[in-house]
Structure formats: C-alpha cells, structure tokens
Amino acid sequence: MEILIKNGVVFDGSGKKGEKTDVLIKGGVIVSIGSFKDKKAEIVIDASDSYITPGFIDINSDSDHCLTIFTEPTQISLLKQGITTILGGNCGSSLAPLIKGDLVSIRKWASPNQINVDWTSFGEFLENLSRFKLGVNFGSLVGHSTVRRGLIGEEFRDLTEEELQQMKYLMEKSLEEGAFGISTGLSYSHSRITPPYEIEELLKILGKYDALYATHLRSEEEGLVASIAEIDDIVSELKIKGRPKIEISHFKAYEGLLDDLNLGLKIINSLKEKGADINFDVYPYETIAGPLYLYLPSWAIYGGFELMVKNITDKMVRPRIIKDLKEKKYQYNRIIVAEMSGTPSFIGKNIQELAKTRGISPEEMLLETLKIGGGRVIVFENKLSSEGTIALLKHPLSIIATNGPGRNYARVPEVLPHPRSFGAFPKFLSLARDKKIMDWPEAIKKITYLPAQKIGLKKRGLIKKGYFADIVVFNPKQINSLADCRNPYLEPEGIEFVIVNGELAVDHGRFTGVLAGQIFKR
C-alpha cells in the first residue's frame, strides 16, 4: 500500500522544530520526505493545519497485566490516542517465562482464568501472541517477580545460590528470546524482601545486553528518597563496563511530599551527571490506581496472596489489622472502587460511603471489600499534586506513559477504567500547549524517539527515510482529552489519522478495523 501525507508540518521526533513537507509511505516504510505536488497514491491524506509525527510509544503499558492484549486485541483506546507501540512486562510481572505454567504474578490486576496458557518460555509466549492480530506493536520486559515466584512459590526468603543461578539463567534466556530488559516491582508483597545484591546480579546481565532495567520503587511515598538512593547505591557498586539503561516506572508526585520529590530528583539528576542512562515515566493525572491490598499494613501482606486473604478474615488477626488501619488515617472518602469481580454495585463508590450504607467503620469496610473481591480489588485515589505532576511532565528526563491497559469503548459493569487508558497522550499534549510547559518538538520527542531509544527499538520513533511507517497526524489546536474518573470512555479530540506499519488504522478519528501491529523482539 502507498500512502501520501501532504501539506502538514512534520515534527520528526528528534527534537528539531517542525518543517512543512510531505511524507510518502510504501510497503510499510517511509520511502521519501519532500514535496510531491503531482504524486498519486492509493491513499492521500491532506494534513493541512495538522502536525505529522512518529507514532506514540507507551513505555509502560498494563495491556499484558490486565490481559486485554488477548481479550481486547484491537487496543482501540490506545490507537485513538495515537499510540502505535506498547511495552509490557513492567512492575516485575510478565506473561513469561512460566516455570509452573501459571500467571500468578498478574492476579492482582486480572483473573488469569480469562485465557488459556499454552507456553512456558519467553520465546514461546511471543510466538503464541504473534498468532493474534493486534492493533498496536507489542514488546515486553521479563518480570523479576514472575521468575522469582516460579522458583520459590509463595515463600518469603532470600534465594539460595542455586536458585539465584537458575534465575539468572532464565533471565538471560528470556533476553536472548526477545525480552527488551528486566523489570522489578519492589513495593508488591512478594518482592519487598528482595535484597539489593539480587538486583545487582540482574543488572550485571543487563549490562552485557545493553538492555533496560525498569523498576517500580520499593516506596513511592514516605520512602521515596531511600528507594531512589537504593538505585544509586546499586549502580555505584556495579563493577562492569556496560551499565544498564534504567527506567523508574510511573514516578509520582504525592501531595505533602514535594520536598521528598525534589530530593529524589536531585539523586536522579546526579546519577545522570555520573553517566547513568536513567529516565522515569509519568502519566498526566492526579489520580492513582492500584491494588487495594497495598493499603494494608505491610505485616498483613507478608507471606503472599493466600495468607493475606486469610488474614483479613481471621478472627484473631483482623482486629489488629483494623487497629493499624485506624492509625494510618486514610481518607476513605477518596478511595474509590474501580474494579471488583462479581460486584458491580461497588464500582464507582468510595470506601466511606460503602461503610455508611452497611453501618460499619471504613476500616472494616476496606477489609470486607477485599474479602468479597477475593483479594483482587483495584481502587482509585486522588492524592497526587497537580504542581508536582506538571514538574515531572516537564522534567528533561521524563517519558510519558499510560501505565494502563488498552481497552474497548464498551462499558463493563465491573470495571471503571482509569482515564489514562483513553486519554493520557492527548492530555499531555494539550497540557504542553495550554500550560506552556514545553515546546512542540520537545513534547513530541518525549512520546516518540526518547522511548524508542530507551527501549532499544530499531528504525522506530522518527520520521526518517527507511524507518517503519508508524505515524500520527493530529490537529495541534484541537488535541485534547476530556476523559476523567467519572467518565473515562470519552474519546480524545484532535487525533485525525494513525498509521501502523504503513496501514491506516485510524481515519478522520475513526477506527478502520485494520490490525497491523507486530510483535517486537529485542
């Protein structure tokens, strides 16, 4: 197929200012950039008053965690944002390798029973996924927690030397089979006890492969500075020539902790000055989303998912959990149930109002909600600083991401999606324009070439002759997202055309039905 995009301003993704020119695509590749006044093509797109950019790249996607890469393969909510490539396997959990053949590490996000698993190795997983037609390109990291739990199950202990060697073998094998790097989820129950030397051993492997290390910090709130300092300590201890690329996942600016945020950024800046290839990703919302069980005291989570579920119903343990929850003084009117299987009446309601209708304390209601949901409950809480979030978005080391799954627009009674799944990238671009936090070349680089470099994608992220034709055409005056937590399903504005591997997936804002995504290997 031959596509000609005419009369638009091209921002090539490199950070250079825009230039009015035409782009010619043939066979899935950008074949020429210039002036083609009399050129005919199968599809001619008039991009007058619009910008032509590389396809947007989401470095932190949950489409694999939530299994929508299988159940909703169009990934239409991402395509309509201009996203053409996503990276899964974040926060320590990937869909492979599966030592015991189960998806236990992702059950905090989704029920593993939704799909049939017929793979074990990372290579087999990618091969299996390649049989599906996908709306977007997909690549994945290999999850540390996935491998660790595969080796020792729900035990909470250090690995033996033999187990550590087995982990390193499986990680290296996964990298050779196509993983773009390794991720950790150090705040989740099973990975909290991971010792720094274990991470250091993984970074040594990554250094050899020039691959990515993405980490969900041990703490994103009160322990933020110590968590970032841990990265500094580990990187400083590495006695290897090649240092891995580091990505801090979903960096957040919590209300009341902006001083800690600034200290954390100083450490990150210092690491960069010392030669570390470090970035962080951020989404443009003040509302967080995550498992409800993370609100429990750490001792109640210790021991694994099954023990945690048992603790919240145990007559001896439950009163102690409630006592500790009262000391934490959560704002229960801000904790909103977003996803909970089998109980649609809970969705969209906060813990305090649920407690009031049942005549119990909000602490008891939190435990009841976990009990009814079988431990798997996702909640929203509006607790991020607007000022701090803007500061992170404009920081030179930030990369924009959704940290959410691609979804369809059909409403599901048991799910209230986070609006980032429907509007993160258009919202970021509208903020760049309206708040004047950066110019267009820098904003576009943050969502195209910068993540492509970080992941290690070849011939992606730039509008350049010979590069693959993942392209977005958007109207800079209209670009916006009105999606919010009350109504996340609103479609973004201003995204006019989206081309994936040289095929037109979005035409005048409408999904064409074309599924041209490819499976990427490192």
Could you tell me the pLDDT band of residue 242, with boundaries at 50, 70 and 90?
A: low
Residues 213 and 136 occupy one common structural domain: yes
pLDDT tens string 121-154: 999 999 999 999 999 999 999 999 999 999 998 8
Taken in order 386, 388, 393, 399, the sign of the CA dihedral is negative
Regarding beta strands 2-10 and 51-54, do their DSSP bridges make them parallel or antiparallel, or are they unpaired?
Answer: parallel
Could you tell me the pLDDT band of residue 54, with boundaries at 50, 70 and 90?
A: very high
pTM over 0.75: yes
3-state secondary structure of 378: strand
> Residue 241 above 60 pLDDT?
no
As given in the structure block, the two tokens for residue 325 are 């929850």
Residues 330 and 393 occupy one common structural domain: no
User: Whole-angstrom Cα distance, residue 78 to residue 412?
Assistant: 17
Closest listed residue to residue 189, CA positions, set 317, 330, 298:
298
Q: Look up the CATH number of the domain holding residue 66.
A: 3.20.20.140
Match 């201009």 to its residue by tokens: 82
Q: Into how many domains does the chain fold?
A: 2
Q: What is the pLDDT of residue 110?
A: 84
Q: Is residue 389 part of a domain?
A: yes
3-state SS string over 426-469? HHHHHHHHHCCCCCHHHHHHHCCHHHHHHHCCCCCCCCCCCCEC
Q: What is the pLDDT of residue 113?
A: 85
Query: Average pLDDT of 193-222?
Result: 93
The answer to whether 414 touches 342, Cβ cutoff 8 Å, is yes
Count the neighbouring beta carbons within 10 Å of the beta carbon of residue 517.
27
Phi, psi (degrees; rounded to nearest 5) at 290: -175, 175
The answer to whether 519 touches 129, Cβ cutoff 8 Å, is yes
Q: What is the pLDDT of residue 343?
A: 87
Taken in order 416, 419, 423, 425, the sign of the CA dihedral is negative
> Residue 186 above 60 pLDDT?
yes
Residues 215 and 100 occupy one common structural domain: yes
Residues 322 and 299 occupy one common structural domain: yes
Phi, psi (degrees; rounded to nearest 5) at 104: -60, -30
Of the residues 440, 462, 484, which one is the last residue of a structural domain?
Answer: 462
Residues 194 and 265 occupy one common structural domain: yes
Residues 302 and 432 occupy one common structural domain: no
Q: What is the pLDDT of residue 154?
A: 83
Q: What is the pLDDT of residue 102?
A: 86
Could you tell me the pLDDT band of residue 66, with boundaries at 50, 70 and 90?
A: very high
Of the residues 382, 401, 432, which one is the last residue of a structural domain?
Answer: 382
Residues 62 and 139 occupy one common structural domain: yes
> Residue 181 above 80 pLDDT?
yes
Q: Is residue 388 part of a domain?
A: yes
Q: Is residue 49 part of a domain?
A: no
Residues 313 and 268 occupy one common structural domain: no
Residues 184 and 92 occupy one common structural domain: yes
Q: What is the pLDDT of residue 412?
A: 86
Q: What is the pLDDT of residue 85?
A: 98
Regarding beta strands 278-282 and 245-248, do their DSSP bridges make them parallel or antiparallel, or are they unpaired?
Answer: parallel
The answer to whether 143 touches 92, Cβ cutoff 8 Å, is yes
Residues of the chain with pLDDT > 90, as a percent, come to 85
Residues 316 and 213 occupy one common structural domain: no
Of the residues 382, 415, 432, which one is the last residue of a structural domain?
Answer: 382
Q: What is the pLDDT of residue 303?
A: 76
Task: Provide CB contacts within 8 A for 130, sequence distance 6+.
Answer: 519
User: Whole-angstrom Cα distance, residue 32 to residue 395?
Assistant: 34
Query: Average pLDDT of 454-469?
Result: 98
Q: What is the pLDDT of residue 14?
A: 98
The boundaries of the domain holding residue 349 are 290-382
Q: Is residue 188 part of a domain?
A: yes
Q: Is residue 444 part of a domain?
A: yes
Query: Average pLDDT of 395-417?
Result: 95
Q: Is residue 487 part of a domain?
A: no
3-state secondary structure of 208: helix
Could you tell me the pLDDT band of residue 236, with boundaries at 50, 70 and 90?
A: confident
The answer to whether 297 touches 325, Cβ cutoff 8 Å, is yes
Alpha-carbon Rg of the chain, whole angstroms? Answer: 23
> Residue 211 above 90 pLDDT?
yes
Q: Is residue 305 part of a domain?
A: yes
User: Whole-angstrom Cα distance, residue 236 to residue 243?
Assistant: 10
Q: Is residue 36 part of a domain?
A: no
Q: What is the pLDDT of residue 38?
A: 84
User: Whole-angstrom Cα distance, residue 342 to residue 371?
Assistant: 12
Q: What is the pLDDT of residue 147?
A: 96
> Residue 97 above 60 pLDDT?
yes
Could you tell me the pLDDT band of residue 358, with boundaries at 50, 70 and 90?
A: very high
Element (H, E) at 506: strand 503-507
> Residue 57 above 70 pLDDT?
yes
> Residue 486 above 80 pLDDT?
yes
Query: Average pLDDT of 425-450?
Result: 97
> Residue 417 above 90 pLDDT?
yes
Q: What is the pLDDT of residue 199?
A: 95
Residues 320 and 260 occupy one common structural domain: no
Mean pLDDT of the chain, nearest integer: 95
Residues 224 and 189 occupy one common structural domain: yes
Prior bond of 195 cis (ω within 30°): no
